Amino acid sequence: MPAPPSSSAQAARQALAARLRDLRLDAELTVRGLALSTSWSHSKVSRIENARTAPAPEDVRAWARACAVEDQAEELVAALRAVEGMWIEWHRMERSGLKAAQESVRSLYERTRAHRVYDSWLIPGLLQTMGYTTAILHATRRRRRLIDDVDAAVAERMDRQHVLYEGRRTFAFVLEEAVLRNGIGGREVMREQLRHLLTVGFLPNVSLGLVPMQPDRSAMRPVEDFWIFDSGQVAVELVSGYLTITQPRELGMYVDVFQELAALAVHGDKARSLIHNAIAALG
């Protein structure tokens, strides 16, 4: 299995490997002894303990049996799944359809009180219209050859927007100006989306910043889309999958980048002007 693209995910994998090793030592088993008990090769045990190979759930259960701690087996399996969840390829996340993928992050949005979002590709989901979301998810379904549950997935994403209006939550969005002009869904969809952005993007609990297109972005170039949930988690969408970051050092890097991008952005009337210009350009 390739190494996950984050030190957060790798650190979590190493912590689980160390826990399995400690269980073996507590059971007074050598690597060879555990291998004999599980009918594995010596090298498999070594690879798992050194976090070079991720165990399967049944491997974890077998490890617990060999160490006479079967009562800890399901807790260990849960820990394994949490580690796996830090880096999820899209084909795994969406294997049951787009609706299930949308549902999988709903509780995260609902428990978060301070949302910080940077997007260089698209209008973020919380600010999208139904037409814009529908265009995006239809394109996603076709590209990834998924089952067609787009209508249900759109309904789920639209329903998630209740977090904008309920509870004491704050939202800070920083978008690249190019997002306003990327033509998602065609002229009518974009026109409706931009008009919606003029309304929802300036709610009392929402800060909307737009980074203007400019000839020199050497100071802080556009980066991948990311979401900071409170102060404990960052979600990053990559071409190949969905990354969850929890390591304090990495979290701090994303917070710093968000602050730098927010400093480049315009807000208030200047941001509204950029949106109006984008609407006018649609004709």
pLDDT over 80 at 81, yes or no: no
Distance CA 91, CA 54 (A): 19
Q: What is the pTM of this model?
A: 0.78
Of the candidate ranges 120-134, 142-156, 224-238, 242-256, the one whose mean pLDDT is the lowest: 242-256
Sheet with strand 206-211: strands edge to edge: 87-89, 241-245, 233-237, 226-229, 114-119, 170-176, 206-211
Q: What is the predicted pLDDT for the residue at 2?
A: 46
State the virtual CA torsion across 75, 97, 102, 234 in degrees, nearest 10. Answer: 60
Q: What is the predicted pLDDT for the residue at 7?
A: 62
